[in-house]
Chains A and B, each alone.
Chain A
Amino acid sequence: MIRLATCSLAGCFGCHMSFLDMDEKFLGFVERVEFDRSPFTDIKSIGKCDIGLVEGGLCNEENLAVLKEFRENCAILVAVGACAINGGIPAMRNHFSMDECLAEAYLDGIGIENPQIPSDPELPVLLQKVCPVHEAVRIDYFLPGCPPPAGAFEVLLEALLKGEKPELPRKLIHYD
């Protein structure tokens, strides 16, 4: 049985939704794949896996820790979606300083009551810049799209399960 882990870092879970959009084909994969850590299983720690799918970029220290854990445990690591590949929509905050972002969200924004910047120790520390996952660890394959179409997940996994290099056809390559 192939072991597969997935996670969503600074993403919106849209890539995971698109993965599930394979519909009945998903059932075919479930027969050949055992899910390890994933929002699908709600397992919180990762074991040794054959394939790891990473959605989302890096916006805080927890994202970075999870990504490193995935790299250490997954033989093949795949960056899934625009945010993992170029930072995506969350990286649009890179145009502003961290202070500006926090002030807009928690101090000066419209309709804010009791303005304060959250400082609970359980909250992960934000990185100064949102960045793509290939800046922190080696990535084996990339699946572009926002989200990648269900068919792209299918092509990727079919190839990886056969031990082949995935080749995305032109019609499944898009960045939005």
Chain B
Amino acid sequence: MKTVSLDGAVVPFAEGQTVMECALAANISIPHLCFLPGFLPHGSCRLCTVKIDGRLASACTQPAMAGQHVEIDTEELRQVRLSLLRMLFVEGNHYCPACEKSGSCRLQKAAYDEGMLDLHYRPWYPKRKMDASHPDVLIDRDRCIFCELCVKASRDVDGKNIFGISGRGIDTHLVVNSKSGLLADTDISAQDRAVEVCPVGAILVKGRGFEIPIGKRLYD
């Protein structure tokens, strides 16, 4: 059987598996955000960056190959992850005390796990348009990390193709596939996978104000 070495552990893999998939199957943790089992990975957040035979690569897109030496839990990679997380935080407006996703937010959890205490960089304080036009679902674009999970879930699971990512660099933003560009003019529902799959507080179901008390939330 073909194997890879993950931080020294010899792990078997099946043909076609990525490094991330083979680590998950072996219960070895590689921090990640935009990767979710069941969705095609595209390595946009880079949080799953590992060192494979001396080169940095995103574990979610890199195919596992026999004899690979993968480094995951090293000080160098911890610093890389910390920098990536800090950049994700400063590129958006992540005011956790005012966000309903707080406590269940995967960006927040990833930053806790890496021991992120400060931003280090200068916050951008972007001004992106909020979309509260729909009666049940709202979009706060300032919290979007462009993981594209909603894009894939809406297209591939819900069969509605409501979301897309548009623009480049600092102008990258989440767009809605309707004539007006507003969520109200789509057939999105609060039960859609595209809504549930958002790892941060960018797509939220309305009317659910801080339902779970602090201390009992997913990542408390």
Count how many chain A residues have C-beta atoms less than 8 Å from C-beta atoms of the other chain. Answer: 28
Q: Is the CB of A79 within 8 A of B118?
A: yes
Taking a contact as CB atoms closer than 8 A, the residue among A79, A92, A173 that contacts B115 in the complex is A173
From DSSP, what is the main secondary structure of chain B's interface residues?
loop
Q: A154-176: contact bitstring with B at CB < 8 Å (1 yes, 0 no)?
A: 00000000000000101001111
Q: Is B170 an interface residue (CB 8 A)?
A: no
Q: Is the CB of B123 within 8 A of A92?
A: no
Q: Is the CB of A174 within 8 A of B112?
A: yes
Least distance between A99 CB and chain B CB atoms (Å): 15
Least distance between B83 CB and chain A CB atoms (Å): 15
Q: Tell me which residues from 109 to 142 in chain A have a Cβ below 8 Å from any Cβ of chain B.
A: 129, 131-132, 134-135, 139, 141-142
Q: Is A94 an interface residue (CB 8 A)?
A: yes
In the bound complex, CA of A88 to CA of B108 (Å): 15
Q: Is the CB of A87 within 8 A of B123?
A: yes
Q: Is the CB of A170 within 8 A of B118?
A: no
Least distance between A160 CB and chain B CB atoms (Å): 15
Q: Tell me which residues from 100 to 114 in chain B have a Cβ below 8 Å from any Cβ of chain A.
A: 102-103, 108, 111-113
- Given A87-B123, A91-B125, A95-B127; A142-B96 close (CB under 8 Å): no
Q: Is the CB of B97 within 8 A of A86?
A: no
Q: Is B117 an interface residue (CB 8 A)?
A: yes
Interface centre among B95, B96, B111, B220 (most CB of A within 10 A): B95
Q: Is the CB of B95 within 8 A of A91?
A: yes
Least distance between B100 CB and chain A CB atoms (Å): 11
Q: Is B94 an interface residue (CB 8 A)?
A: yes
- Given A95-B125, A173-B112, A174-B112; A89-B98 close (CB under 8 Å): yes
Q: Is A4 an interface residue (CB 8 A)?
A: no
Least distance between A2 CB and chain B CB atoms (Å): 22
Which residues of B have CB within 8 Å of A175?
Answer: 94, 96-97, 102, 108, 111
- Given A94-B125, A146-B96, A146-B97; A86-B119 close (CB under 8 Å): yes
Which residues of B have CB within 8 Å of A132?
Answer: 119, 123
With A95-B93, A173-B115, A174-B112 already in contact, 6 other A-B pairs whose C-beta atoms are closer than 8 Å: A89-B98, A91-B95, A95-B125, A129-B125, A144-B118, A146-B96
19 pairs, A vs B, C-beta closer than 8 Å: A79-B118, A86-B119, A86-B123, A88-B95, A89-B98, A94-B125, A131-B122, A132-B119, A132-B123, A134-B118, A134-B120, A139-B118, A142-B117, A144-B118, A173-B116, A174-B220, A175-B94, A175-B111, A176-B103
* Residues of chain B whose beta carbon lies under 8 Å from any beta carbon of chain A: 89, 93-99, 102-103, 108, 111-113, 115-120, 122-123, 125, 127, 142, 214, 220
